[in-house]
Amino acid sequence: DTAVSQTPKYLVTQMGNDKSIKCEQNLGHDTMYWYKQDSKKFLKIMFSYNNKELIINETVPNRFSPKSPDKAHLNLHINSLELGDSAVYFCASSPHPNEKLFFGSGTQLSVL
Amino acid sequence: AQSVAQPEDQVNVAEGNPLTVKCTYSVSGNPYLFWYVQYPNRGLQFLLKYITGDNLVKGSYGFEAEFNKSQTSFHLKKPSALVSDSALYFCAVADYGQNFVFGPGTRLSVLP
């Protein structure tokens, strides 16, 4: 069983569209995250949720909106996609903040 | 603010030789330090962590890391490299209660 699963694995879409990426973890962790990895492989945190509550929101455009319906899920919705949004998006979870992260396998987003 | 540096973009080593991947960090308090490995088209996988205790930390796949407080370093080491160790390695640091900041990554190539 995959501990942290995210779908879809690949997402190709046109500029201006709205898209969502889903993430689920079956580890019983309290904390979930979204990270963005750019083409140079730099990893940057976007959002962090603890028990369904947003605890950090780094400087990301408000076109990006996370939603956590329950502790096991953290979805990422992106409005009005732009070329610069093309990247790999990773979901991750941890038992608590400052504990080791368990990563999903990533969603490669390509905006054309 | 916390930060991480990985001074080498690329490290090449012959199979069977020892390897070192360097990491230096900056935090205001006591650091939480981690190493992760990323294989192509995969999410990051946890290798090892230092929070407190012995300065030499042993992790997965024969890797270890040495915490050096005076030099603010946390270098990753392995006594004998394998071709299968070839991957992208990330150092990460967090201050207590803060989210992790990842280094830019070091690509390790182990040559047969």
Mind listing the pLDDT tens digit for each residue in A69-93? 999 999 999 999 999 999 999 999 9
B12 versus A49: the higher-pLDDT residue is B12
- Chain B residues near residue A103 by CB distance under 8 angstroms: 36, 43-45
pLDDT of residue A57: 73
A104 with B104: Cβ contact below 8 A = no
Closest CA to A21 of A64, A72, A50: A64
- Chain B residues near residue A97 by CB distance under 8 angstroms: 94, 97-99
The sign of the CA dihedral A42, A66, B100, B63 is negative
Residue A56 pLDDT > 80, yes or no? no
What total of structural domains would you count in chain A?
1
Which A residues in the span 40-59 are in contact with B, Cβ-Cβ below 8 Å? 40-45, 48, 56
pLDDT of residue A43: 93
- The minimal CB distance from A97 to the residues B42, B97, B105 is found for B97
pLDDT digits (tens, 9 = 90+) for B13-72: 999 999 999 999 998 888 899 999 999 888 899 999 999 889 999 999 999 999 999 999
Instruction: Find the Cα–Cα–Cα–Cα dihedral B94, A68, A92, B69, rounded to 10°.
Output: 10
A101 with B46: Cβ contact below 8 A = yes
Q: Where does residue B107 rank: exposed (0-12), middle (13-18), buried (19+ CB within 10 A)?
A: middle
Lowest mean pLDDT among A9-13, A41-45, B20-24, B74-78: A41-45
Residue A55 pLDDT > 80, yes or no? no
A100 with B49: Cβ contact below 8 A = yes
Query: Whole domain around residue A53: which residue ranges?
Result: 4-111
Domain B3-111: give its CATH code: 2.60.40.10
Residue A54 pLDDT > 90, yes or no? no
pLDDT tier at A58, thresholds 50, 70, 90: confident
- The minimal CB distance from B46 to the residues A42, A100, A105 is found for A100
pLDDT tier at B95, thresholds 50, 70, 90: confident
Q: For residue A71, give how far its alpha carbon lies from the nearest alpha carbon of chain B (Å).
A: 18
The sign of the CA dihedral A23, A25, A30, A33 is negative
pLDDT of residue A1: 61
CATH of the domain at A14: 2.60.40.10
- Chain B residues near residue A98 by CB distance under 8 angstroms: 32, 51, 94, 96-98, 100
CB A77 within 8 A of CB A64: yes
A106 with B42: Cβ contact below 8 A = yes
pLDDT of residue A81: 97
- Chain A residues near residue B101 by CB distance under 8 angstroms: 45
pLDDT tier at A59, thresholds 50, 70, 90: confident
pLDDT of residue A50: 85
Domain segments of chain B: what residues?
Answer: 3-111
Q: Is B35 an interface residue toward A (CB < 8 Å)?
A: no
Residue A14 pLDDT > 90, yes or no? yes
Q: CB count, 10 Å around CB of B63?
A: 20
B99 with A56: Cβ contact below 8 A = yes
What gap in Å lies between CA A22 and CA A20, rounded to an integer? 7
pLDDT of residue B37: 97
Probe site for chain B from A9, A33, A101, A107 (most B CB atoms < 10 A)? A101
pLDDT digits (tens, 9 = 90+) for B64-94: 999 999 999 999 999 999 999 999 999 999 8
- Residue A8: cis peptide before it, omega within 30 degrees of 0: yes
